[in-house]
Amino acid sequence: MNFLDGEIRDKSHLYYFRVQYEDTDIGGIVYHAKYLNFVERARSALIRKLGFPAEELLKKNLSIVVKKLYCEWQNSCTLGDVIYVKTNLVQCKKASLVLNQLIFSDHDNKKLSETEVTLCFLNKNMKATRIPESLLKSLNSILPH
């Protein structure tokens, strides 16, 4: 089942999937907010791929939350399209991460959207907390020089 979580290649994470009925709306294209679901799935797959599944983090009372996000929708996609999210780590601090996440159409590699998202780690009291050392080390391995 290796395919379920995408793959890391040259410090980028690639995550492929097909657009489903439930992702589209009456306009005939994917509902805009679904792009945020798509990039979240990709981020979660990346962090799982690094050895830190979200459910394990939750057991340690660690949760990763979205602090802020900027997104541009550049092209639409629709039912049946195969698309992929390319995720790059941009910045890695002690308690937060910045990721750049592009969505592309697989068919013609056209860029569909660009997202920059800041994540932050919270403890069980919902207070910002340090990223575990082992995860930080893994994350550093995919940081560009």
Helix (H) or strand (E) holding 41: helix 34-49
Per CB under 8 A, 26 contacts a second copy: yes
3-state secondary structure 95-139: CEEEEEEEEEECCCCCEEEEEEEEEEEECCCCCECCCCHHHHHHH
Stretch 79-108 residues interacting with a second copy (CB under 8 A): 79-80, 82, 106
Pick one of 53, 88, 92, 129: the residue that binds a second copy (CB under 8 A): 53
Backbone angles phi, psi at 34, to 5 degrees: -65, -25
Concerning whether 106 is annotated as a catalytic residue, the answer is no
Residues that bind a second copy (CB under 8 A): 1, 3-5, 16-18, 20-22, 24-29, 31-34, 36-37, 40-41, 44-45, 48, 53-55, 58, 63, 65-73, 76, 78-80, 82, 106, 126
